[in-house]
Amino acid sequence: MSHNQICIGIACDQSSVICFVEGEGKPTKQGRLDTFASHIELESTMSHDMEQAHGPLVEALRLKSIVYNSRQIKQLLNSENPLNRINQYCRILKLFLASPSGFIREDLQDYLNPSALS
């Protein structure tokens, strides 16, 4: 990831999805913790890839961690990929960001979760 690309973190469960602008470049361990700690239930289960920034979040919230190697699971059919749900949210977000919608970068967080910020 380029140091000047906007990093957007996405988390979901069976009924909800939430997205946060985490800054530019690769996510940091502290940034990921600060961004998502108040949105994930203690001792819940987190399925994720091997991104190192997830570690402190797993530890601080005492999460059951199910880790997948993204290189291996990307070879699977979507229907067999355990991270397909989050992948589809990422795909939709990329389509939105690539569209000529005329949004203002400084207001990006407001576009992502308008109801989550109130």
pTM attached to this predicted model = 0.81
**Burial grade of 84 (CB within 10 A; 0-12, 13-18, 19 or more):** middle
Residue range 63-94, pLDDT digits in tens:
999 999 999 999 999 999 999 999 999 999 88
Q: Would you give the DSSP letter of residue 22?
A: E
pLDDT per residue as tens digits for the range 12-25: 998 999 999 998 88
How many CA atoms lie less than 13 Å away from 7 in the CB half-sphere?
A: 16
List, for residues 22-70, the tens digit of each pLDDT value: 988 888 999 999 999 999 999 999 999 999 999 999 999 999 999 999 9
Of 84, 81, 93, 67, whose CA–CA distance to 10 is shortest?
93
